[in-house]
Amino acid sequence: MVARHSLELAVPGLAVGALAGAMAGGLTLFAGQPGGAALLALPLALFGGLYGMLLGHGPFRPGTFAPAGLLWLLAFPLSRLAQESVAPTGGMADGVLPFLAYQAMVSLGFAIGFLWLHERLMPYWLLRVRARRRNPRADELLAHYVRRASV
């Protein structure tokens, strides 16, 4: 039951992460290209889902940038590293450290975009969850969004 509650909170983040990965390469499967870029979608979706769970369990506050920025500062370079390890595209030609440093810089922008979309999706998703079944964590988070929207 608790697991279901947490997984439901992860859905919007999963969706945004998967969308970002798909932009980079999900379509490559249809184009008959090696699907290496598509591998980015999986870690980005998982970390995106993790963000949603952390939001529901309290350590992260909705709408604040710093937690999302910190999460992606670690998670984005790791996701890219996983992708390059499985299907190299030559991104690590200068070495692993410069590669990771560059990805960490880009992660800041990714975090802004992620949060931007997540904040749009999450309240609507929570409304749907509430209409279908009981999820106290989702209700609590929704109440927070409603309080903020009424200000």
Partner 1 sequence: MPIRKLPDAPPSVHILGPTVFLVALGVGMGESYMWPRLVLLFGPEIRWLFLIGVTLQAVVMLEMARYAMATGESIFSGAARVFKPLMWFFFAVAILVYIWPGHLSAGAAAFEEITGIPWTVTAVTGLILVGVVFSLAKVIYNVLENLLSVLIGALVIGTAVIAAMVGSWSDVVSTITGMFSIGYLPPEALSAAWFPVIVGACAFAGPSGMQQMWYTLHLRDSGAGMGAHIPRIRGLRHAGEEEAMPSRGFMFDTEDPAEMAKWRGWRRWVTFDALLLFWGVTMLVTISFTVIAQAAARQNPGVRAAIQGDDREVALSAMADAVSSAGSSVLGVVFLGFIALIGLNATLGLFDSFSRGQADMTYNFVPGARRLKMAHLYAGFLWGVIVFGILILLFGPADGPSGILDTLAFLSTFAMGAYCVTLLLVNNRMLPKPIRPRWWSNAIIGFGAVFYLGMLFYSLVAFGVVVG
State the nearest-atom distance from the C-beta of 104 to partner 1, in Å.
10
Q: At what angle do helices 2-25 and 41-57 cross, to 10 degrees?
A: 150
Neighbours of 48 (CB within 10 A): 29
Kindly indicate which of the ranges 6-14, 23-31, 50-58, 126-134 contains the residues binding partner 1, using the contact rule CB under 8 A.
23-31
Among 7-15, 52-60, 115-123, 126-134, which window interacts with partner 1 (CB under 8 A)? Answer: 115-123
Tell me how far apart the alpha carbons of residues 51 and 47 are, in angstroms, rounded to a whole number. 6
Whole-angstrom CA distances from 59 to 53, 71, 110, 136 are 10, 12, 21, 17
Of the ranges 3-11, 49-57, 110-118, 131-139, which one interacts with partner 1 (CB under 8 A)? Answer: 110-118
Q: How near is the Cβ of 87 to partner 1 at its closest, in Å?
A: 10
Indicate which single residue of 42, 46, 50, 99 sits in contact with partner 1 (rule: CB under 8 A).
99
24 contacts partner 1 (rule: CB under 8 A): yes
Q: Are 74 and 45 in contact (CB under 8 A)?
A: no
